[in-house]
Structures are given as structure tokens and as C-alpha cells.
Structure 1
């Protein structure tokens, strides 16, 4: 099971975000590359998750759709 991806970590520059291991920036264990993968917060700003299709939105509430049909 993968870890929950933090939307606004306190120190994103200290971690490699390239896989679910979240290794410290100085010891990249996965071999994902020679450099640390940046968190979207570092590249796009604090509201990065509000734009685009990240797949992190909660599923629609099914109870409201059935209530309207009655």
C-alpha cells in the first residue's frame, strides 16, 4: 500500500518525492536518478493541488444523488 501524498509538507526540499520511499535528499535509495525529485509545491506553489487532474479529489457523494431522485 502506498503512503498518502502530503499536499503541503513543511520541508519538501529535504525529501526525494520520486517514489513511495520518500528518501532523504542525501541518500537516494531507489536509483530513480542522480538528482532529487521535487515536490509539486516547490515547482508550482502552495496551491498546486487546486489546478489540474491529480486524481486526489474525494469521490462524489452518492447519497445526494439518490436523495434527489426520490
Structure 2
């Protein structure tokens, strides 16, 4: 069974803690005392398109090395 998909634009992100795969209600969290913000609350509504755009701009990025940092000049 695969984990639930991460919602890009939830209707009420303030009602849920987004820190782990449990998605606890903000009023009854099991993992922590503070609620983790959804990326749309922290980075803005276009958080997903900005992240996708940055990844595709790097000509040296490949699926195997993407997200591991940039190459150093030789």
C-alpha cells in the first residue's frame, strides 16, 4: 500500500500538522507540541511551481544527482 499523496493546495492547511505522515489534527497532535506549517503557508500559494521550476533550470542536474547539491567547478 502506498502512502497518501501530499496535497499541493489543501482547503484548510491550518487545521493539520504537516510534520510527518500522520497528518494529525492541530488540536490533537501525537508527535510534537508545535504544528508544522504546510509549504503553502510558509512559501506562498505557488510553492510547488517555484520548486519544480528551480529543479528544471539546472542543466547539470540528472535524476540520480538531483537534490544532492550542485557540482563544484573543476
User: Which sections of structure 1, spanning at least 5 residues, go unmatched?
Assistant: 54-70
Aligned residue for 1:51? 50
Pairing 1:28–2:14 present: no
User: Which sections of structure 2, spanning at least 5 residues, go unmatched?
Assistant: 53-74
Q: CA-atom RMSD, angstroms?
A: 1.2
Query: What CA distance in whole angstroms lies between the structure 1 residues aligned with 2:33 and 2:3?
Result: 23
Shift of 1:51: 1.6
Q: Secondary structure at the residue paired with 1:52?
A: helix
Aligned residue for 1:13? 14
Aligned residue for 1:2? 3
Aligned residue for 1:39? 38
TM-score normalised by the chain length of structure 1: 0.66
Query: What CA distance in whole angstroms lies between the structure 1 residues aligned with 2:3 and 2:21?
Result: 6
Aligned residues: 51
> Which has the larger displacement, 9-18 or 43-52?
43-52
Runs of 4+ in structure 1 deviating by more than 6 angstroms, as ranges, are none
Aligned residue for 1:60? none
